[in-house]
Each structure stands twice: as C-alpha cells, then as structure tokens.
Chain A
Amino acid sequence: MKTLLVIREQESAWLLDQFPGIHPLLVPICNKPFIEFLVDFAILAGSEALRIVSDGGLRDVELYCANGSRWGVEISYGNINPADDTYTVIEKNRRFCLKERIMIISGFLFIRYDKKSDYTSLFASLQSGELLRCPHGSISLTGDAASVISPAGTLPFSLVALDSIGKYYELSMEILRSGLNKYVLPGYSSEADCYIGRNVIIPKSAEIQKPVIIGNNVQLLANTVIHANSVIGSNVIIDRDSVISGSIVMDNTYIGEHLEVENKIAAGNLLIDPESGSSIIMEDPHLLTAMTPSRVAGTLLRRVVHTFAATILILIQLLPWLLLRPIVGMQGKWKRKREPYYTALAGKNVTLTSTYIESNGSLSTLAKTLALDRFSLLFKVLSGELALIGNKPVRVNASIRLLPNRVAGYRPAVFSYAEAEDWPEFCIDTEIVEHYYAVHSNPMKDISMTQKAIFHRTYQNHCT
C-alpha cells in the first residue's frame, strides 16, 4: 500500500501565524513534529511509500523527512494547485498511485490511533471509498481489497481537524491524559505517563507531577513545579520558583523566575492563551525569552572583558609555560591535535589545537594545574575566535544532528562554565550547566567563573 498526503496551505495558515518560521507540518505535538504522527500512521497501515503533496512550499518538510529512510518508508513530494479536487490530485500523481492501494489523507488532520492495533490487515481488507470524514478533510482508500471483510463496529481510528490554537492545545492535552501509550513518543519512559528526554536536570527541590513530557536539554531550577498535564520542549530553562501547569512550553524557551504559567502555550517570547487565542509577545527578557544566539553571543563589553582577562592570564602563564612546556614535551606527555570546531556562527568553523597533558608526573601535574594546556587557546580569545569562558568547543562531527551553533547560546571558549561548577557530576550535565550560564552570565561573573574554572583544575575528577 501507499499513502498520499494532501495538505493545503490555507488549512494550516493559522498555525503559521501562531508559530511563524515553523512549517505547520513540523509543529511539535507533545514534542513530536506533527508530520511524524502521520508518517507513523501510514507505516502502521502498511504503507511502503508516502507522498506529501501541497499547494505550498515543502522545503522544510523535505529537509526534515528527506527520503524517509529514517522510518524505513519511501517519502516523496509533489505540487498541486489550491483548486485541484481529489481526482485531479490523483491524476497528477498517477505514476505514484498506479496499480496500488492508496490511502489518501486529505486535509490538515490529526489521526487518533493506537499503535497496538493491527492496521495493516485492516487496511488490506477495507473496501475502497471514503472511510472517515470531518469538516476539514477525510481519509479514503482506492484500489481493490485483498479480501473484503467489513470491520466489526467502528473503525479503530478517528480524525481531529486541527483548525485553531485551541484545538491544538486540546489535542496535546488529550494525548497527555489518555494517549501516551497509543502513540510513539520521544524520550524515555521509566514509568507510565512520564516521558523524559536527554540531558534533563531536575534539582531535588523541583516537583514534577505526571502525566508529563519533557524534551532534551532541559534545566529546571530550584523550587520549580511542573504540575500534571504539561509538555516541556527541548532547550528549555525554567527558572527558580516558577510553576508550570497544564501548559505547553515549546522548544528554545526561557521561563523567568517566580512565574506561573497556567493553561498557556509559551513559545520563545510568545505567550498564547489557547482558550481565547490571544497572544502576547514578551518584550521583557526577564519573563519569557526565545533563546537565540544573538542574545548571548559576545556583546562588546563581554569581548573587552574577556580580552583583558585573557591578556592577564597569558602574562601569568608565560613564564611557567616557557619553563614547563619543553620539559613536559620531552617527556612525551604533551599531546596536541589540530581539529575543526564549531563557532558561534552557523556555518562557520574554527581550527583549534587542543592540548592534552598526561598528568602522571609532578611536573606535568603542575603544568595541568596551571592550565598550561589552554595557553595557546588564550590567543584565540585575543583574536576574537573564542570566548574566555563559555561552552566547551564542540568538534565538527558529521553524525551529530543538532549543530551546536544552531542551538541557543553556544559560545565556544577556552574554559567552560561546566568546569567552573561542582555541578556536573556526570559528563551529560555539562551541556545543561553551559546552557544555564548562556542565559545567566554577565561579563563580571565570567571573570569569577574563570577563576573558579582554573581553581577546580586542581581536582582531577571533573569531566573533560
């Protein structure tokens, strides 16, 4: 079987107004892009191929889904005109639809299903024609069934037309309350009704109530409360003493201190009331903020402070470096490696020489304690390619899916905030600490953090 997904721009335009910059098919529902629910359903129904056709642009969808190899289904794309009826749409894709059973999902619809049901044999035996219809679209089947068996009772799936922010919110809540085991959702789930992503920091004083879904790279600060029925996206920080209840916090959002987000959708600096549909754009970074690199990337003051501090450090380290570098080098304990690293700017890399000192002798331990392995990197601060303190530079690596410089607040630096904190007990926490400081640091604090980072080097147990 194959599936033809027909999406018209007009049906989803409201979503683009609400979340500008995200293709409506990629808007996350419970942290999973909408299109993935449709792909999952198409696969459950036994599709080997899926074609997404639209009268609007599909570029972003194409970049995200590519050829579908991620799901083991062949995905292709096509164009239609707004006025085309179903017959014309099928004709325009005749080659794709040839000699096959085709499930046609038409309209901006969410399909309620249960992953435990056997849709493959159901769809093989259903008679062709329209299966379900709702005001905004339908599911129909073409082609002959292998052996027609009329299904007992109602079909084990139903349609929800996504036509307003209120519907979107309701649907998310419905999945949270009663559908978590029916869909394939991201994150790991050690207990029912609770999905948590990677790199999630939950302090002891925070409280979380089920059902809940939390994405990746999320930091909850002291005394935060996540009440039942909340969805927290990825790259989210919820600051001290804030309460989230019955709300959806979308990706890349910072929620300030002492706030109460109740039955709302927070997306970057946008706060939406799903019931009335009204929304406000926060101009106040203390309340809600979209975490974009520009907010945290080097301001002039920071640049000046970092350059100044780096110069002082270079002067301090110069003598020990001149003395120790040749000796440790001769001992063969001074290892260097030149590799490309991501910079704060998307699409730009920098080549850094990373130094590793084997600290199994008194001199090399001294060299390491004095942070001489960072000596050459300090010059990169003077040239502005690195910050003095910020994130640990991430090596250019083809296999990582989320590029650090596309993520908020990445600022590669000689020292990392994580090194300065006793916080990271595991390496996995590093990112979170750095993320936190991406929002919470200021140039003066940076100086003291750098001191801390150097001081902490005397302990060998931090992660590198």
Chain B
Amino acid sequence: MNPIITLTLQANLRYLRIASIMACNVAEIFADLACNATDIAEFCHAYELSVSEAFTNSVRYAEPSQPEKQVTIHFSSNNSTLAVSIIDTNPQFNPVTQAPDISCYPEGGYGLFLIHRLMDTVSYTRKDNTNILTMTKQATMVHEA
C-alpha cells in the first residue's frame, strides 16, 4: 500500500509554516523515492507554495465564531504522482482560476491561480459540508522541448 499521511491543524495562521514545511518535506522524500525524479527543488517548492496558499485560504475563510475549526492536509501517492488534499468545513467557495488583473495592483486573489499554474491537476469538491481541494503533480522528469 502506498503511504498516506494526514495532518490536522487548527485553522490558524500560526500553523501555516508547519503546513507548508510539511508539504515541502513530504514532496522531497516522495521525489527522492520516485525514479527519474524531476528537478526536486522545484517540485518541493511547488508543494510548499501550493499548500501555503491553500492553507491560508482555509484559515481566511474560517468563520471567526468557531475558533476551534480545523484544517486537514492529506497526502497520498500513486506511482509517480503525489496528491495533496486540503479539507476544511468552511462555507462553499468558488475555485476561480483566473489570473488577477495585475495592472490594478491587486493585493490578493493570486492563491488559486498560483496553485493552478504550479500543479498538474487541481480539483474542488464539496461533500457533507466540507471543502476538499485536491492537487496533484507528477514527480517524473518532464522536459518541455
């Protein structure tokens, strides 16, 4: 069986670094194991950044009335692909993928766009009042000719 790693954190920015470092390290170990791994540093950075963005979003949209809200980060793998899901119980959201109009100096709204650009696949599902944002990226060498 492929290893499954689950990390549950309180929805607080205090734990943001734990989430993203965890993602970075899981990605590094995974890429190390995968044969013909791609540029490992880049692979890890993509995970570190994407999980950072997703976790930040989960914390931002958590309702302040429920301070004990939790965010679950779930890693699983399949052959050469690593998947990570960010699961929270926030209200449903619209996973926009559009790039913000940079010329207007936007201070936010880059998060999901970045995730889409960094990852191979991104999917969003709403089930039993939970949001599940799943992202995957392949660790084997991909050359763009």
Give residues of chain A (315-363) contacting chain B, Cβ–Cβ below 8 Å: 340, 346-349, 351
Instruction: Check: B36 CB closer than 8 A to any chain A CB.
Output: yes
Docked CA distance A386–B36 (Å)? 23
**Which one of A63, A340, A349, A396 contacts B144 once the chains associate, using CB atoms below 8 Å?**
A63
Tally chain A residues at the interface, Cβ within 8 Å. 17
Whether B145 and A349, one on each chain, are in contact in the complex, defined by CB atoms closer than 8 angstroms, is no
- CB closest residue in chain A, given B144: A63
- CB closest residue in chain B, given A350: B79
Which of B8-16, B106-114, B134-142 has 4 or more CB atoms under 8 Å from chain A?
B134-142
Instruction: Check: B80 CB closer than 8 A to any chain A CB.
Output: yes
Whether B80 and A340, one on each chain, are in contact in the complex, defined by CB atoms closer than 8 angstroms, is yes
Contacts of B143 in A (CB 8 A): 400-403
Contacts of B144 in A (CB 8 A): 60, 63-64, 406
Tally chain B residues at the interface, Cβ within 8 Å. 11
Whether A347 and B36, one on each chain, are in contact in the complex, defined by CB atoms closer than 8 angstroms, is no
Interface Cβ pair total, 8 Å cutoff: 32
Docked CA distance A397–B143 (Å)? 11
Instruction: Check: A192 CB closer than 8 A to any chain B CB.
Output: no
Whether A349 and B79, one on each chain, are in contact in the complex, defined by CB atoms closer than 8 angstroms, is yes
Interface centre among B120, B141, B143 (most CB of A within 10 A): B143
Instruction: Check: A398 CB closer than 8 A to any chain B CB.
Output: yes
**Which one of B36, B120, B145 contacts A396 once the chains associate, using CB atoms below 8 Å?**
B36
Whether A340 and B79, one on each chain, are in contact in the complex, defined by CB atoms closer than 8 angstroms, is yes
A38 → chain B closest CB, angstroms: 19
Docked CA distance A349–B35 (Å)? 13
A423 → chain B closest CB, angstroms: 26
Docked CA distance A63–B42 (Å)? 12
29 A–B contacts, CB within 8 A, in A order: A60-B144, A63-B144, A64-B144, A340-B80, A340-B140, A346-B142, A347-B120, A347-B138, A347-B142, A348-B138, A349-B79, A349-B80, A349-B138, A349-B140, A351-B79, A396-B36, A396-B140, A397-B36, A398-B36, A398-B140, A398-B141, A400-B143, A401-B145, A402-B145, A403-B142, A403-B143, A403-B145, A406-B144, A406-B145
